[in-house]
Each structure stands twice: as structure tokens, then as C-alpha cells.
């Protein structure tokens, strides 16, 4: 299994998934009209990763903006990753970052936390 690295563009986020460290990073903005197509590769990688995840998977998400279709894709990612919790001795933590003045993104993180029931940390981004 290889690392998944996708550079960010004006419309798509940076993806940096590392199966060795278990750190999965999504950062930037996701406003592509065809977000399903973009996240397809991400979903395929996750499906493969679910076969042998590390002890603790950390998902870091720092999005400044995403459109409605991306919000569904992100939800799908969370649902897939939730399966890690069903594997013995494996767990997952979500670190949801938001910019200090971005109240909306903070609330969005809270919504995802409510609906997915995953362990979320909602944090102010320092960078």
C-alpha cells in the first residue's frame, strides 16, 4: 500500500494520507463541481487502509471552505473510517481544525461529531 498525496488546487484540498504513521490529512478548500470524482481515489485508499490500519489513526481536517457535495463526501469518509473502531485494539481520532474567526467551520465540526459519533477534537488552527 502506498502513501496518498494529492496537491491542493484552487478547488480541491490537499490530501496527505500516510498508512505507516496513520495520519490522514485533508487541508484547504473543497468546492469542485465533481467532488465525488475527486474523493473517489480517497475512498479507495481508505478501503484498502481498513484492511490493516495502524493502532491509532489520526484524521486531521482543516478546511477553509467546502461545498454541499463535498460535505456528503466527507461524511462518507467518516462513515468508512468509523469501521476502524470495530477492529480490536485499533482506534481513530478526528482532529477538526478551524480558523479562529471561522465560527461556521467550528459548528460544522460539531455537527459531524454529533452525526458520526466519532471521537472529535475541535481545535483552532495555529498555522
Partner 1 sequence: MSKQDLYFKEIENLQHSKSFLEEGKYTQNELKNEFKTLYDNYEDILGQIKIITRISDRLQRRLDKTNDKLNEKNTELQKTISELVKTRISRKATTIVFIVAIALFLIVEAVIEPYIESYTNFYTALFIKLLIALMIKPAEMLLEHSFMKRERKRKVNTNERKD
Binding site for partner 1 (CB under 8 A): 35-37, 40, 65, 67-69, 71-73, 75, 104, 107-108, 111-112, 115
Give min distance, CB of 37 to partner 1, in A.
Answer: 6
Only one residue has cell 468509523, namely 82
Give min distance, CB of 36 to partner 1, in A.
Answer: 4
Contact 14, 25 (CB under 8 A): yes
Nearer to partner 1, 21 or 85 (CB): 85
How many CA atoms does the CB half-sphere of 123 hold within 13 Å?
15
Q: Which residues pair with 15 in a beta bridge?
A: 6, 26
Nearer to partner 1, 68 or 88 (CB): 68
Amino acid at each position: 500500500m502506498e502513501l496518498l498525496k494529492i496537491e491542493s488546487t484552487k478547488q480541491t484540498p490537499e490530501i496527505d494520507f500516510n498508512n505507516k504513521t496513520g495520519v490522514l490529512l485533508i487541508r484547504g478548500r473543497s468546492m469542485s463541481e465533481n467532488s465525488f470524482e475527486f474523493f473517489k481515489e480517497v475512498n479507495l485508499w481508505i478501503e484498502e487502509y481498513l484492511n490493516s490500519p495502524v493502532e491509532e489513526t489520526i484524521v486531521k481536517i482543516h478546511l477553509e471552505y467546502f461545498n454541499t457535495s463535498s460535505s456528503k463526501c466527507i461524511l462518507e469518509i467518516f462513515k468508512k473510517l468509523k469501521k476502524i473502531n470495530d477492529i480490536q485494539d485499533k482506534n481513530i481520532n478526528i482532529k477538526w481544525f478551524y480558523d479562529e474567526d471561522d465560527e461556521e467551520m467550528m459548528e460544522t465540526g460539531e455537527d459531524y461529531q454529533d452525526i458520526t459519533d466519532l471521537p472529535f477534537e475541535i481545535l483552532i488552527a495555529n498555522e
